[in-house]
Amino acid sequence: MSAPASEPPDTPWWANGVRYAFAVSAQEHLRVDARSEQDRIVLHLKGELDLASSPIFERALEDPALADAPLVVLDLDDLKFVDSTGLRIILLAHQGARGRGQEFAITQGSPQVQRLLSITSVAEHMHVIASPDDMLV
């Protein structure tokens, strides 16, 4: 099979047709929304937390308003995927909150997130709550 007339003659036949855009912006990959309440700040993560999107989450964790809340909650319910980089940042968020004397909790997350937290035993070392509005016991 030869290349169509519109393509250069040295273009292989399989290079024609559907082309995929692999450049997905980090903002399309992960969204972090912060909600401040009287006793807590909830960071709602939506999408995928991985090497490509981790700077977005790290910037959210650097917000000065975060340091004033008695409780920091990571809402992982809409997080579809977490890799080792994302897990590391969740652990750093936990460590940072504890260092500031804050309570810290995470929601259970999607089945993939739950599995990762279970396999790595991270869930055993954090308060896991059903909803970001639950009170810690």
Predicted TM-score (pTM) of the model is: 0.77
Q: How do 71-82 and 41-49 pair as beta strands?
A: parallel
Distance CA 49, CA 31 (A): 9
CATH classification (class only), 27-129: alpha beta
Q: Which residues contact 32 (CB under 8 A, 6 or more apart)?
A: 43, 44, 45, 46, 56, 57, 60
Domain ranges of the chain: 27-129
Q: If you ran DSSP here, which 8-state letter would residue 132 be given?
A: T
Neighbouring CB atoms inside 10 A of 77's CB total: 17
Across the chain, how many H-helices and E-strands are there?
Answer: 4, 5
Give pLDDT tens digits along the chain (137 positions).
Answer: 444 455 455 554 444 444 433 344 555 689 999 999 888 999 999 999 999 999 999 999 999 988 989 999 999 999 999 999 999 999 999 999 999 999 999 999 999 999 999 999 998 999 999 999 887 64
